[in-house]
Amino acid sequence: MAEERTCLCGCGEVPPPAPRTDRRYGQVKGEPLPYVSGHNPRGKGWNLRKDSRQRAADEALIRERYLAERRPTPPEPEPEGSARLDGLSAEDRQRATWAMQAARALVWAVPTVDVDGNIVSRPLDEDMVLPWEDLSQVGKEIPDYRDWQVEETEIGILISDGRCLPRLIDPSEILPALGVDESASNGVEPEPGPEPVVEVIDGVAHVAAS
């Protein structure tokens, strides 16, 4: 007996079995069709008049289903009497996290370059990472910059991802190479700090800067 399944558009109706085998559409004779006649992934009102009630109801259902799939999962309620971080509940922390993630996305939407001409993400201010956020998780929000290209021109360094106009990098936006001491890269040896001065007072040694 063929397995009974509902229409893939989500209407809940049972499609009829395929009358014949058709490799073009992946249909096997006797097995249920993926959709009821007139239905498709958008729903069952797609081929109705735009001013019909059925089409308006179906499109509203499809829109709600689409938004529900992309709506963030609400945080679980905290048990009564539990401690609150910084005086905020779990729901308030989640809202603040979403807002900060949106702010970081704006900062990282366009990359910058380092002194070696590599595409790198822009640095964040300290106040753009909330106290309860994990830095390793925040780092995963950095987008993929593989499509961005660097071009050195007479007017300066230009970067572009091929989908928008090239952006001119201001010299103040160029970052030092990661893990490289900027003074050493310029051939300048760092100046030694002041030698400590040890004073003995009442038999106790005290260290003071010279």
Burial class of residue 69 in the structure, from the number of CB atoms within 10 Å of its CB (0-12 exposed, 13-18 middle, 19+ buried): exposed
Residue 101 lies in a domain: no
Residue 202 lies in a domain: no
Domain encompassing residue 127: 111-181
pLDDT of residue 104: 92
Residue 10 lies in a domain: yes
Whole-number Cα distances in Å, 178 to 75, 83, 133, 171: 37, 40, 23, 17
Query: What phi, psi does 196 have (nearest 5°)?
Result: -70, 145
Distance from CA of residue 110 to its chain's centroid? 14
pLDDT of residue 1: 46
Residue 31 lies in a domain: yes
Number of domains in the chain: 2
Query: Could you say which of 71, 99, 132 is where a domain stops?
Result: 71
pLDDT of residue 79: 58
Give this prediction's pTM: 0.45
pLDDT per position as a tens digit, 67-81: 887 777 766 665 555
